[in-house]
């Protein structure tokens, strides 16, 4: 192989990950570094590798340039750190399009993402149990290295979801059971009849005194009175001739 080809290639990385963090997130940095090394990765972290006598700037430069990937532990304190910003900007400049996924932002608390970091896919480590967080960390790191997150087993068959009540489409297969009493429309009592009482044309006092007084519909069938649509309120013979 020619010297020109060798010079154009990036030298083999000395570490798999360099962890960029601020002093407020030291506990998170050590926790992440511990579990990554426990999983077999090589990690450069300031808390363990910037020992007395070493040059801080040189070690920081080595972390940015000689680590395969840089993990950024995002928090509100990190976003205010000038050194933290310089570190992730240097890594992003070496991989601006994210083809090699050299910059891995990980949020350790609820905080906004800067505009440039917001373009890079990240994940969160907070809000879960320690074991779930460990598995979440290692799973996402493995996906970043592989460039894909395909599961090892086949996904489960999707279940049929009941339509929403707002969709207006009832679930016929499940609509045979009666609705709860609270969902049934209340039955309104029948309103009293507003029909005006029929004037028989006979005063009660006269009917009581004259036993021969008859109702104008006397002799007509009940069905005729119901279907006629009106009741003759004047006694027979009381109308003037037309």
**Domains of the chain with CATH codes:** 12-146 (3.40.50.10140)
105, 122 contact by CB (below 8 A): yes
- Provide the pLDDT confidence category of residue 239 given band limits of 50, 70 and 90: low
Which residue, chain included where needed, has tokens 């928090």? 75
Q: Which helix (DSSP H) or strand (DSSP E) does residue 35 occupy? A: helix 26-38
Q: For the chain, give the mean pLDDT.
A: 77
Given a cut of 90, whether residue 190 has pLDDT beyond it is no
At 115 the pLDDT is 82
Read off the pLDDT of each residue in 3-20 and give the average, rounded to a whole number: 74
Given a cut of 70, whether residue 9 has pLDDT beyond it is no
At 165 the pLDDT is 65
DSSP state of 16: E
- Provide the pLDDT confidence category of residue 199 given band limits of 50, 70 and 90: low
What's the rounded Cα separation, in Å, for the pair 119 and 97? 10
Q: What is the torsional sign of CA 14, 16, 21, 24?
A: negative
At 18 the pLDDT is 96
pLDDT, tens digit (0-9, with 9 covering 90-100), for 74-133:
999 999 999 999 999 999 888 888 888 999 999 999 999 888 888 899 999 999 999 999
Which residue, chain included where needed, has tokens 């609820």? 110
Whole-model pTM over 0.75: no
> Which of helix, strand or coil describes residue 123?
strand
Read off the pLDDT of each residue in 229-238 and give the average, rounded to a whole number: 50
200, 213 contact by CB (below 8 A): no
What's the rounded Cα separation, in Å, for the pair 85 and 60? 13
DSSP state of 170: -
pLDDT, tens digit (0-9, with 9 covering 90-100), for 16-69:
999 999 999 999 999 999 999 999 999 999 999 999 999 999 999 999 999 999
At 92 the pLDDT is 87
At 125 the pLDDT is 96
At 219 the pLDDT is 52
Which residue, chain included where needed, has tokens 């994210």? 98
Side-chain-side CA neighbours of residue 194 (13 Å): 2
Closest CA to 74 of 39, 46, 40, 32: 32
pLDDT, tens digit (0-9, with 9 covering 90-100), for 138-182:
999 999 999 999 998 999 999 888 776 665 555 544 444 444 444
- Provide the pLDDT confidence category of residue 195 given band limits of 50, 70 and 90: low
What's the rounded Cα separation, in Å, for the pair 65 and 87? 10
Helices (H) and strands (E) in the chain, counts: 9, 5
């Amino acid at each position: 192989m020619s010297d020109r080809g060798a010079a154009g290639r990036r030298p083999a990385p000395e570490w798999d990950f360099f962890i960029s963090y601020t002093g407020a997130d030291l506990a998170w940095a050590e926790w992440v570094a511990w579990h990554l090394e426990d999983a077999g990765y090589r990690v450069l972290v300031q808390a363990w590798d910037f020992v007395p006598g070493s040059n801080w700037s040189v070690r920081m430069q080595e972390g940015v340039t000689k680590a395969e990937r840089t993990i950024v532990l995002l928090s509100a304190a990190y976003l205010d750190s000038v050194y933290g910003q310089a570190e992730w900007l240097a890594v992003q400049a070496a991989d601006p399009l994210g083809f090699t996924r050299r910059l891995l932002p990980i949020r350790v608390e609820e905080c906004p993402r800067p505009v440039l970091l917001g373009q890079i896919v990240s994940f969160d480590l907070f809000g879960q149990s320690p074991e779930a967080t460990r598995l979440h960390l290692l799973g996402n790191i493995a996906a970043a290295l592989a460039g894909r997150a395909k599961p090892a087993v086949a996904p489960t068959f999707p279940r049929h979801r009941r339509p929403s009540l707002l969709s207006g489409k009832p679930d016929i297969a499940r609509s045979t059971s009666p609705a709860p009493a609270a969902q049934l429309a209340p039955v309104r009592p029948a309103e009293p009849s507003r029909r005006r009482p029929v004037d028989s044309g006979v005063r009660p006092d006269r009917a009581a005194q004259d036993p021969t007084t008859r109702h104008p519909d006397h002799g007509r069938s009940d069905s005729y009175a119901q279907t006629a649509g009106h009741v003759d309120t004047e006694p027979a013979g009381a109308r003037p001739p037309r």
